[in-house]
Amino acid sequence: MSNSALVSLLESNSDDLGAAGYDQYYGWGRVNAYKAVLAVKNVTLDTTPPTVSIASPLSSAVLTGITNIQGTATDNVGVTKVEFYVDTQLLATGSSGSFLFIWETTTAANGSHTLTVKAYDVANHVGQTAVTVSVNNPVVADTTPPAVSIKSPANGATVSASTKINVSATDNVAVAQVCIYLDSVKVYTGSAAPYTYNSNTKRAASGAHVITANAWDRAGNMGSAQAVTVYKK
């Protein structure tokens, strides 16, 4: 029996106390273990998992754009939950035996993927089915470079022996690498934010120094920050 079915059985076979039925003082009453065990004899145990079928898309289908995943899940008692997976990732859930899930295939890489639908019944048995499909969306070339800026220090600032350089970099897809330069010498390389370099300018000459930064995305596009000039006493 499922947990919920067992709780219901104990409640319905308890010795009623106080007002008839459930009440705020005695709940369902006092548990009567003997009556509950006798009642189990009349319970038909559910040992059959749900049956699941995917009507669309068919196995080996080639998919592009938005795709509907449709089918049915049936059970001898009742379906309580339906889950939709792409490969091993859970993307959506539902509670109807006739399911319809919407999948935006552009969120997946081109190539082969396994679509799995799992259904659960009251006793938490699970049935499932899967189809293998191929995603083939047009590949749009990434020509947009990252946007890069030097957040601190400010242009024209006077710096001391220790200066923190903070750089911001964003991209329409993803930033792959950021480099910071001090007087054209690369002093920092990073692949994850925050892009920060603690500069020790104790031995640097007095006067003006130029800070620059570049960022690259995975397609090799490069963006450059506007140079910042600082002054050391």
Residue that is last in its domain, among 135, 163, 183: 135
Domain assignment present for residue 46? The answer is: no
Residue written as token pair 């031995």: 203
Domain assignment present for residue 70? The answer is: yes
d(CA 199, CA 213): 14
d(CA 73, CA 50): 6
Domain assignment present for residue 142? The answer is: no
3-state DSSP: the chain helix, strand, coil percent, rounded to 5?
A: 10, 50, 40
What is the rounded average pLDDT of the residues 83-111? 94
Contact present, 156 and 230 (Cβ < 8 Å): yes
* Predicted confidence (pLDDT) per residue in 19-43, tens digit: 888 888 999 899 999 988 888 777 6
For the domain that residue 185 is a member of, what is the CATH number? 2.60.40.10
Residue that is last in its domain, among 89, 115, 135: 135
pLDDT at 200: 82
Residue that is last in its domain, among 87, 107, 135: 135
Q: Say whether both 30 and 85 belong to one domain.
A: no
The residue type of 144 is T
Domain assignment present for residue 141? The answer is: no
3-state secondary structure of 10: helix
pLDDT at 123: 81
Angle (CA) 50 55 59, round 5°: 105
122 has a pLDDT exceeding 90: no
Q: Tokens representing 224?
A: 């450059």
Q: Say whether both 194 and 156 belong to one domain.
A: yes
Q: Say whether both 151 and 224 belong to one domain.
A: yes
* Predicted confidence (pLDDT) per residue in 139-151, tens digit: 888 999 999 999 9
Half-sphere exposure of 8 (CA within 13 A, CB side): 7
Output the CA torsion sign for 90, 218, 168, 232.
positive
Domain assignment present for residue 157? The answer is: yes
Q: Say whether both 69 and 119 belong to one domain.
A: yes
* Predicted confidence (pLDDT) per residue in 159-178, tens digit: 887 889 999 999 998 999 99
Question: How much of the chain exceeds pLDDT 70, in percent?
Answer: 98
| 33-40 and 3-12 helices, crossing angle to 10° | 120
Q: Quote the domain boundaries for residue 162.
A: 147-232
Q: Say whether both 58 and 127 belong to one domain.
A: yes
Domain count, the chain: 3
Q: Say whether both 12 and 82 belong to one domain.
A: no
DSSP 38: H
Q: Say whether both 74 and 151 belong to one domain.
A: no
Domain assignment present for residue 65? The answer is: yes
- 228/6: higher pLDDT: 228
Q: Say whether both 56 and 131 belong to one domain.
A: yes
Domain assignment present for residue 140? The answer is: no
* Predicted confidence (pLDDT) per residue in 175-233, tens digit: 999 999 999 999 999 999 999 999 887 778 889 999 999 999 989 999 999 999 999 87
pLDDT at 96: 86
pLDDT at 168: 97
pLDDT at 11: 87
The residue type of 188 is Y
- 204/87: higher pLDDT: 87
Q: Say whether both 152 and 217 belong to one domain.
A: yes
**Residues linked to residue 54 through DSSP beta bridges, in sequence order:** 71
52 has a pLDDT exceeding 80: yes
pLDDT at 182: 93
Contact present, 98 and 114 (Cβ < 8 Å): no
Q: Say whether both 64 and 22 belong to one domain.
A: no
3-state secondary structure of 177: strand
Residue written as token pair 């350089």: 165
158 has a pLDDT exceeding 80: yes
Q: Say whether both 179 and 212 belong to one domain.
A: yes
Domain assignment present for residue 164? The answer is: yes
Angle (CA) 121 125 128, round 5°: 90
Output the CA–CA distances (angstroms, integers) from residue 224 to 146, 169, 181, 227, in the order listed.
8, 10, 11, 9
Residue written as token pair 């998992």: 49
